[in-house]
Structures are given as structure tokens and as C-alpha cells.
């Protein structure tokens, strides 16, 4: 029976469904994509831009503002800390989002997290760290929080009609549209957000610098922002690579980028590098992962270990390096290849009057000044209205003072309570508000002393009202109030910069080094400036050297392929290279013309080549005027791999000869008057200045000069002591009869 009934019901419902007709069902409707976007997508996009992702002129997104205002209303500005879960729960009355999103907002505003230069939330417990991806915050039921001291400045006079209030999402509460911040918080704390079709990325600046810049702009609209706002400043420290042109673009347009570089120290005892501050745009884990990847790829062979040693003393990444590795050179390589140096992209996109605008620093500060001027004006108007109301009531007291008994008589002789106010109004000629005030005075206050004391306030009130009206009608007066508030903030909250400034043109330039094969070679340099690099095998198999007509070899040096070469020119300049940068050749070719290969100036010729494995020893410069300059070889070493050095030696006197010596040696100097001096370079002190004038070694008569210099070898003179001298300068000695033979000397 049951099955029959159910089958009948099914049949009946099927018949009913067949009779139902839905208009337009199954019909394909073509709708323009622009209409679909305008109807469905644009409202969502505008909601994200205006109500979620882009900060407003007070420096806060709606989620920030709702959280901080809730904490303010909970009395957490001056009270003790309470559980974060309680704050999150109360914030949900204003913020229609989940507790996780609200708690995440509070974490990012907290002192413990460390993302802001000047945090708004004073935290207790584990709030994670901005510089770590893996150090997550504890649950909201474990942590505690309250408003930080600086929050006094974002809620100052909020109860004096300084900003507008609107209903919350369910109409049960009021919340501020903006917060009446007394300083340009929009630039003081970093703020980033991604909306629909646009984004915002505002770097943080030093509080003192921002406030001082605002003051200067209010005093002088043409103030040059860079004079007081040096560069961005970050809570995590690090160093900013200062590029004046890049920062000027950011300051003027609100768009651009700059580079941040980590700070490190070298622990010589443990042969390791300790990184203590990193850019705000990266994390410890990202840096370590990148370094490990490079080590595995064989691009970093100087690192033996890397680990995270962050603890209660703060951030620390330790890099163990191999013995003999230059830590500074390794860090230059790491800056190039890892996030230890990273870029911060700026996009100063801020909502002003509900419209997103990308502004430079000056325009942004001017907008903030306009906003703050409105807040101060509304505060003065509120205070003025309250004082006028108070004065209005005191005028009624002043009239009652003339006849207190009359006031009492009117009240006592009035039969109905509702007639007391009208009778007082008629009896003293006062309005309803004044009559209400008089009627509410306590019986004990109906004495002359109380009334006289109150009436005496009239004069002060009238003066205060006049001052307020003067200020309200004067732009200068309101400007001075804002300036004074900013100066007080500088005194109370300004801190030294945490991010150092290093200038880009002072940084050593990193160039990726290739593996240079090191093998024995012989280097040849000719008088005409030609260079050859020949391997020992090729040299044994070679015949005579091919040279230009009249050219001859001046230097032959046995060394290895990885040797630094210093080419000194006749223009007092030095060009640096390396033997590995020249191709191996044969004696049967002319070789490389150095002046062309190293792009020397027109008419500039190389006159001497020094080959160094290390920058040790000395460069000796012999001049026609009899002076010799002894320069430390290390003076020609440059950390930024410069290829050209100016003022490589002095130009005060023509150069006769150049020598590179690893240790002091003896030389024979010949003068134009036929005298010879056997000179040891150890007799003069070395200098670090490359263009030093030198020390007088030879005493020359007028019209004479130094002619040539030769390296001294044993047997060159029959009696060497004849030409040596104990005192400098010396005039030298003429060749003896024994030394005149060609077999003895070939100077």
C-alpha cells in the first residue's frame, strides 16, 4: 500500500513540474564584458581600494584604525596589558573579519614583531619577528597587549570633534573615519598593500626627520626636502645605499627604488662572518636558503658552513669561511648574489578624500598639513563652543547675584514644577538654558561667595574666547599650533637613525671572478710598449723575438698567469690589468700593444711594467732633478677594482727610470756630468702618497741632470765603495781608470 501511495505522489509532483514555466530559462543572453565588469567587478575593486588595502592620510588602513580605536575605547592607553584574545574579540564589533586576520593586524603593529620604527602596540609574549619566516607568533590566548606610549599622539583630542564618526557595519556603534594624528604617521611607519589594479608601498622615515621636514615646509613652501629628510629609516637597521638621483625621484614622484645592505662583523678568532642586520624586504631563511643553493651549485667555494644563531640578543646569521679567504671580498660577492642586499620599491599611493593618489614627499606632507589643519580648526571650534556655553551660563549667575532672594522667592512662590523655568526667565530676563542652569544650582551654593567666585571667571573666559576666535581666523595661528605640536613630538619621541647611510660612489664594485688557471709564464715588455706572455714550452721552441724596427725588450719577468700587472705611463697615470687577461703568444709575433689594449689616452704611452703577486714591496721613481720617490706598493691596491689611477707618480720633474722591488736593492745612477752614485733604496723612507716628490739623492750642479739608472750587479765596479756614500744627497764620483774599460762597465 505504501509503495502505491508514494508512486501516486511522485506522479502528481511530476505533473506539477511539467506545468511550471520559468521565463527565460535555457535562453543564452549576450552581455557586453564592459557591462559585466561595471556591474559585478568594479564595486568589489573599489571596496578593496577604499576600504581595505590602501592607507589614508592618517597613515592607517581601516583594519589598523578599527583595532587601535577598539583598544583606545577599552582603556588600554594608560591601563595594564590584557590578553590579546579579548582585544581581538572586542575588535570584531567594528571589523567584520575573522579573529585570525584581526590578530595578524595587531601582531604587525606590535613592538615585539619589530616591523615598525615606532610601534603602536606594546606587547608581551611571543609575537614572532618580522625578519624571520619561521618564527611564528603565539596564539592570541597566550599573548598580552596594550597601546604603546606613541598612541597618545594618534588619539589626542579625538573626543573634541576633530574627526568625523560613522556607524559600524551593523549600526550598533560609532567609529572614526580617520584618526587625528599629531604627526605625519603616514611616512613614519612602513605600510604596504595590494589592492585591485593598484598597490601601495610606503617606506618608513625617521620620526625626527619627518617632523622637522614638515615644520620647515610649513615655514617655507620652497624648502628642499633632502636637506632635512636624509633617507628612509627602518626598524631592522641595515644600511641604505645612498643614490641622490634615485632618492630625488622618490621624493618628487613617490615612485622609485633604493637598495638596502646587511651589516656584518668579522670574528677573526673563529674565522667567521656574523650578519647582525638585514634588509626589511627579506628574511633569515631566504638568505640561508640562497647561500646553500649557491654553495651546492659551486658558485661559493669559500664558505664551509652557514647557520642561524638568532637568540635573545637579536638577529645573527653566522657564516664560517675557509682559511685565507678575504671576508670583505666574500661579502661583496654575497651582496651581489643573495638577498643580503635587496631593493625596496616605493609607491606612495595614499587615499585622500576617498581617492587614491600617488604623491611625492612634499605633496604628501602638504596634504597631511591640510588634514591636520582641519583637525586643529575643529578642535578650536569645539573648545570655543564649550566656552561660549559656559560664559552664557555665567551671565545668568551674574544677574542672580544682584538679587539672590528674588530667585529664591520666585522658586518658592511657584506652585507647579513646570512653571519654575518660565518664571525665572520672566523674573531675570534670561533664556531657557540659563534658567535651567540657575534652577539646578544646589541650595548650599546659593551664597554670595560661590556666586562671586563663579562670576569672576567671566573675565578670563571672555579673554580666552577672544584668543580662540583670533586663532581661528588666522592661518598663521593654526600653523604655529601644529608646529609647536611637532616640536614637542620631536622632544618626546625622536630617536637616532637605525639605518646607516653609505654613499654609492664610495662602495667597492664587485665583479664576478672567473677561475683563472695559474701556470708558469714569462712576460716580455718592450721599449715601444708591446707586451708578450709566453709559456716555458713555447719559449724553448721559439727562435728570435719579432720586434718593430728600433724596438727592444726592456723587461723579462718569470712569473705565473695569475699575476697583477701595473703599467705606468708617460702621463703620470697607472693602468691595472692581469696577466691572465692577455692571450698566450709566441716570440715570433709582435704581441699586444698595451696602450691600445688598455684604452690609454691619445698620445699616452706605457713606459714600465710591474708584475706583482701581492701588493708588497716598493715602487721607485728616479727623476732628472736627482730625487728618488719610494712608494709603498700597497698604495696602488684598490678595493673597488679600478682599472685606472691618476697621479701614479710626481710630475714635478721628468722621469728617468722606474723600478719595482720586493725588498731594498742597489742601483747605479749616472749624471750628465759623468758622475756615478751607487745607491741603496733602503737609505730613504717609503711614503704612502703616490705622487710624493721624493728625497734628494744626487747633488747636481746647475745645468746638469740624472741621465740613467741601472740595477747594480757584483763586479760592475772594481772598487764599489768609491761610488757609495754614507750621506744623502751626494754628488757621486767620476769613473776610476780601472772602471773605464768596456769589460767592467756598460752603462
Residues annotated as catalytic are: 142
At CA 683, angle to CA 678 and CA 684, rounded to 5? 120
Grid-cell match 631593493, residue found: 343
Exposed/middle/buried for 349, CB within 10 Å: 0-12, 13-18, 19+? buried
Helix, coil or strand: residue 547:
coil
Gap between the Cα atoms of 164 and 629, Å rounded: 78
Q: Are 201 and 352 in contact (CB under 8 A)?
A: no
- For 233, the grid coordinates are 629609516
Q: Which of 117, 365, 367, 361 is nearest to 255 (CA)?
A: 361
Q: Which of 175, 196, 155 is nearest to 52 (CA)?
A: 196
The side-by-side arrangement of strands in the sheet containing 255-261 is: 191-194, 199-202, 341-347, 255-261, 239-242, 500-503
Gap between the Cα atoms of 47 and 43, Å rounded: 6
As a residue count, the chain comes to 747
At CA 36, angle to CA 31 and CA 37, rounded to 5? 150
Gap between the Cα atoms of 664 and 202, Å rounded: 60
Gap between the Cα atoms of 264 and 276, Å rounded: 6
The DSSP string of 146-198 is EE-GGGGGTSTTTTTT-S-EEE-TTSSSEEESS---SS-HHHHS-EEEE-SS-
Q: Are 524 and 553 in contact (CB under 8 A)?
A: yes
Gap between the Cα atoms of 117 and 495, Å rounded: 9
Gap between the Cα atoms of 337 and 340, Å rounded: 8
- For 650, the grid coordinates are 710626481
Torsion on CA atoms 640, 641, 644, 649, rounded to nearest 10: 80
**What number of CA atoms fall less than 13 Å from residue 480's CA on the CB side?**
7
3-state secondary structure 401-463: HHCHHHHHHHHHCCCCHHHHHHHHHHHHCCCHHHHHHHHCCCHHHCCHHHHHHHHCHHHHHHH
Cis peptide before 355 (omega within 30 of 0): no
DSSP state of 211: H
At CA 50, angle to CA 45 and CA 53, rounded to 5? 80
Other CB atoms within a 10 A radius of the CB of residue 352 amount to: 16
The alpha helices in 49-155, defined as continuous H runs, are 62-73, 84-91, 99-108
Other CB atoms within a 10 A radius of the CB of residue 617 amount to: 17
Gap between the Cα atoms of 374 and 355, Å rounded: 18
- Listed in sequence order, the residues at least 6 apart from 332 whose beta carbon sits closer than 8 Å to its beta carbon are 508, 510
Gap between the Cα atoms of 581 and 575, Å rounded: 13
Q: Are 350 and 57 in contact (CB under 8 A)?
A: yes
Strand bridging mode 530-534 / 520-526: antiparallel
Torsion on CA atoms 670, 675, 676, 680, rounded to nearest 10: -90
Amino acid at each position: 500500500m505504501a509503495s502505491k501511495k508514494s508512486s501516486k505522489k511522485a506522479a502528481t509532483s511530476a505533473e506539477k513540474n511539467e506545468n511550471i514555466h520559468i521565463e527565460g530559462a535555457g535562453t543564452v543572453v549576450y552581455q557586453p564584458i564592459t557591462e559585466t565588469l561595471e556591474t559585478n567587478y568594479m564595486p568589489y575593486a573599489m571596496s578593496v581600494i577604499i576600504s581595505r588595502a590602501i592607507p589614508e592620510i592618517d597613515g592607517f588602513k581601516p583594519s589598523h584604525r578599527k583595532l587601535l580605536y577598539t583598544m583606545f575605547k577599552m582603556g588600554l592607553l594608560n591601563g595594564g596589558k590584557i590578553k590579546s584574545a579579548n582585544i581581538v574579540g572586542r575588535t570584531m564589533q567594528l571589523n567584520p573579519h575573522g579573529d585570525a586576520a584581526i590578530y595578524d593586524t595587531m601582531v604587525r603593529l606590535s613592538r615585539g614583531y619589530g616591523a615598525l620604527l615606532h610601534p603602536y602596540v606594546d606587547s608581551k609574549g611571543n609575537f614572532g619577528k618580522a625578519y624571520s619566516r619561521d618564527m611564528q607568533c603565539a596564539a592570541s590566548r597566550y599573548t598580552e597587549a596594550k597601546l604603546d606610549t606613541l598612541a597618545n599622539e594618534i588619539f589626542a583630542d579625538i573626543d573634541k570633534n576633530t574627526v568625523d564618526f560613522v556607524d559600524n557595519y551593523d549600526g550598533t556603534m560609532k567609529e572614526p573615519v580617520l584618526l587625528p594624528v599629531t604627526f605625519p604617521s603616514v611616512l613614519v611607519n612602513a605600510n604596504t598593500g595590494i589592492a585591485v589594479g593598484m598597490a601601495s608601498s610606503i617606506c618608513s622615515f625617521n620620526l625626527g626627520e619627518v617632523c622637522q621636514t614638515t615644520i620647515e615646509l610649513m615655514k617655507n613652501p620652497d624648502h628642499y626636502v633632502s636637506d632635512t629628510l636624509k633617507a628612509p629609516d627602518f626598524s631592522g637597521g641595515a644600511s641604505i645605499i645612498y643614490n641622490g638621483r634615485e632618492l630625488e625621484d622618490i621624493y618628487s614622484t613617490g615612485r622609485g627604488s633604493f637598495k638596502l645592505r646587511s651589516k656584518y662583523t668579522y670574528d677573526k678568532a673563529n674565522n667567521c662572518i656574523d650578519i647582525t642586520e638585514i634588509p626589511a624586504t627579506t628574511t633569515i631563511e631566504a638568505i640561508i636558503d640562497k647561500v646553500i643553493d649557491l654553495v651546492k651549485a659551486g658558485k661559493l667555494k669559500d664558505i664551509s658552513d652557514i647557520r642561524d644563531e638568532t637568540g635573545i640578543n637579536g638577529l645573527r646569521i653566522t657564516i664560517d669561511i675557509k682559511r685565507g679567504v678575504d671576508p670583505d671580498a666574500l661579502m661583496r660577492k654575497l651582496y651581489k648574489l643573495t638577498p643580503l642586499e635587496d631593493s625596496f620599491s616605493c609607491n606612495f599611493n595614499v587615499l585622500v578624500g576617498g581617492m587614491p593618489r600617488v604623491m611625492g614627499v612634499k605633496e604628501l606632507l602638504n596634504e597631511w598639513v591640510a588634514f591636520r589643519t582641519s583637525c586643529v580648526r575643529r578642535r578650536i571650534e569645539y573648545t570655543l563652543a564649550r566656552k561660549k556655553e559656559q560664559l552664557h551660563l555665567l551671565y545668568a549667575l551674574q544677574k542672580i547675584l544682584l538679587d539672590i532672594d528674588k530667585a529664591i522667592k520666585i522658586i518658592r512662590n511657584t506652585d507647579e514644577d513646570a512653571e519654575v523655568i518660565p518664571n525665572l526667565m520672566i523674573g531675570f530676563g534670561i533664556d531657557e538654558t540659563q534658567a535651567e542652569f540657575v534652577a539646578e544650582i544646589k541650595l548650599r551654593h546659593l551664597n554670595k561667595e560661590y556666586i562671586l567666585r563663579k562670576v569672576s571667571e567671566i573675565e578670563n573666559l571672555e579673554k580666552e574666547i577672544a584668543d580662540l576666535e583670533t586663532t581661528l581666523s588666522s592661518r598663521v595661528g593654526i600653523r604655529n599650533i601644529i608646529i609647536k605640536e611637532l616640536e614637542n613630538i620631536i622632544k618626546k619621541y625622536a630617536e637616532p637613525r637605525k639605518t646607516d647611510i653609505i654613499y654609492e660612489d664610495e662602495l667597492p664594485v664587485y665583479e664576478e671572478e672567473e677561475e683563472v688557471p695559474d701556470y708558469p709564464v714569462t712576460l716580455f715588455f718592450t721599449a715601444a710598449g708591446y707586451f708578450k706572455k709566453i709559456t716555458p714550452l713555447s719559449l724553448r721552441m721559439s727562435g728570435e723575438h719579432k720586434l718593430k724596427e728600433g724596438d727592444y725588450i726592456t723587461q723579462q719577468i718569470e712569473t705565473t698567469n695569475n699575476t697583477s700587472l701595473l703599467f705606468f705611463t708617460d702621463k703620470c697615470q697607472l693602468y691595472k690589468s692581469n696577466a691572465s687577461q692577455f692571450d698566450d703568444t709566441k716570440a715570433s709575433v709582435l704581441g699586444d700593444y698595451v696602450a691600445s689594449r688598455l684604452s690609454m689616452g691619445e698620445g699616452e704611452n706605457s713606459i714600465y711594467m710591474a708584475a706583482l703577486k701581492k701588493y708588497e714591496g716598493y715602487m721607485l721613481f728616479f727623476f732628472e732633478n736627482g730625487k728618488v720617490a719610494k712608494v709603498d706598493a700597497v698604495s696602488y691596491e684598490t678595493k673597488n677594482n679600478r682599472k685606472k689611477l691618476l697621479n701614479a707618480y710626481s710630475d714635478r720633474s721628468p722621469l728617468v727610470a722606474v723600478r719595482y722591488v720586493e725588498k731594498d736593492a742597489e742601483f747605479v745612477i749616472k749624471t750628465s756630468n759623468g758622475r756615478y752614485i751607487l745607491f741603496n733604496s733602503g737609505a730613504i723612507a717609503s711614503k704612502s702618497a703616490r705622487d710624493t716628490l721624493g728625497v734628494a739623492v744626487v747633488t747636481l750642479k746647475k745645468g746638469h741632470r740624472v741621465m740613467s739608472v741601472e740595477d747594480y750587479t757584483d763586479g760592475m765596479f772594481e772598487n764599489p765603495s768609491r761610488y757609495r756614500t754614507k750621506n744623502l744627497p751626494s754628488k757621486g764620483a767620476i769613473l776610476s781608470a780601472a772602471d773605464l774599460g768596456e769589460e767592467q762597465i756598460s752603462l
